[in-house]
Amino acid sequence: MVEIVVHDLRAFTHDRHAVVDDRPYGGGAGMVLKPEPILEAVAGISRGEETRLILLTPQGRPFGQAIARELVEHRHLLLICGRYEGFDERVRERLCPDEISIGDYVLTGGELPALVLLDATIRLIPGVLGDADSARYDSFIEAMLDFPQYTRPPVVQGLSVPEVLLSGDHERIRRWRRKEALRRTKARRPDLLLRADLNEEDRRLLGEIEEEGSC
Ligand code: JCQ
């Protein structure tokens, strides 16, 4: 079972207007999240040692499948969403949170990153996914992009399904899928290909792909 509780930072202020932000020392545009509401919120919400504290900001370490696998082992996650120009640095100094980014772009707040992180993590809890999806836990996902998928009908608007997929020849199908996964990965994510441990067949298929040229 998963329980998600949303806390309002403004509930951890003590002034009449529940102010959570203030102007940056040293000047400049925008506002900074005040430290006390965040420190008081964490003190009130955290279950101490049991809680993994996470700050969602563009300055964090890049989120990925490996971090999701790490987080799913924890009973309690406390996600702190950044906004404005960010947190008063003393929040990091006091809490030593695990600072995580979901990508190199700037959003208005850490709420969507928090949902992305939760979705990727919760689907790893045993029993959350049906059998059909569970196969996709495969670490293959990280090393290589997926091969192209097709379903019925065999022809749509003159576009056909590759003949090999209708052949029933499981060995040919396996090889075709591997080759198309390699082709895609090479074209779109050459960075993944450099890190992947390729076997002899992979190298031969990549050679074929090279010969064929690409779009
Ligand atoms: C998270 N990738 C992008 C926006 C400031 C310093 O705190 C801030 C946090 C946010 C929200 O997070 C993101 C983000 N991963 O924009 C501004």
- Helix residue spans in 52-154 (DSSP H): 65-71, 90-95, 111-122, 131-134, 140-143
Q: Are residues 112 and 145 in the same domain?
A: no
Residue 54 domain flag: yes
- At 215 the pLDDT is 60
pLDDT of residue 142: 72
Active site positions, annotated: 58, 85, 123, 138
Instruction: Find the CATH number of the domain harbouring 36.
Output: 3.40.1280.10
The total number of structural domains that make up the chain: 2
Q: What is the DSSP letter of 80?
A: E
Q: Which atom number of ligand 1 is nearest to the Cα of residue 101?
A: 15
Residue 130 inside a domain? The answer is no
Could you tell me if 115 and 143 lie in one domain? no
* Per-residue pLDDT at 200 exceeds 60: yes
Rounded to whole angstroms, how far apart are CA atoms 93 and 67? 22
Q: What is the pLDDT averaged over residues 123-143? A: 74
Does residue 88 fall inside a structural domain? yes
CA of 86 relative to ligand 1 center, distance in Å: 8
Q: How remote is the CA of residue 134 from the centroid of ligand 1, in Å?
A: 31
Test site for ligand 1: of 38, 54, 57, 115, most ligand atoms within 8 A of the Cβ? 57
Give domain status of residue 166, yes or no.
Answer: yes
Nearest CA to 4 out of 110, 79, 66 is that of 79
Residues 118 and 147 in one domain: no
Same-domain check for residues 111 and 19:
yes
Owner of token pair 């504290």: 53
Helix spans in 26-169 (H): 35-45, 65-71, 90-95, 111-122, 131-134, 140-143, 163-166
Are residues 106 and 183 both part of a single domain? no
Whether residues 112 and 181 fall in one domain? no
Per-residue pLDDT band at 23 (split at 50, 70, 90): very high
Q: Are residues 117 and 22 in the same domain?
A: yes
Q: Is the pLDDT of residue 44 over 80?
A: yes
What is the average pLDDT across 173-197? 97
What's the average model confidence in pLDDT over 75-101? 96
Percent of the chain scoring above 70 in pLDDT: 95
Residues 15 and 117 in one domain: yes
pLDDT of residue 66: 97
Q: Is residue 4 part of a domain?
A: no
| 24 and 92 assigned to the same domain | yes
With a Cβ cut-off of 6 Å, ligand 1 is lined by: 56-58, 82-83, 86-87, 101-103, 105-107, 109-110, 113
Are residues 128 and 122 in contact, defined by beta-carbon separation less than 8 angstroms?
Answer: yes
Ligand 1 atom at minimum distance from 111 CA: 11
213: left (phi over 0), alpha (psi -120 to 50) or beta: left
> Could you report the per-residue pLDDT of 170-180, keeping only the tens digit for each?
999 999 999 99
Query: What is the distance in A from the centroid of ligand 1 to the CA of 115?
Result: 13
Q: Is residue 157 part of a domain?
A: yes
Q: What is the pLDDT of residue 55?
A: 98
Q: What is the CATH number of the domain that holds 188?
A: 1.10.1270.20
159 and 111 within one domain: no
pLDDT of residue 139: 55
- pTM of the prediction? 0.94
Share of the chain above pLDDT 90, in %: 88
- Do 115 and 78 belong together in one domain? yes
User: Which 3 state secondary structure label does DSSP give 115?
Assistant: helix
Which range marks the domain in which residue 101 is found?
Answer: 9-122
Residues 169 and 91 in one domain: no
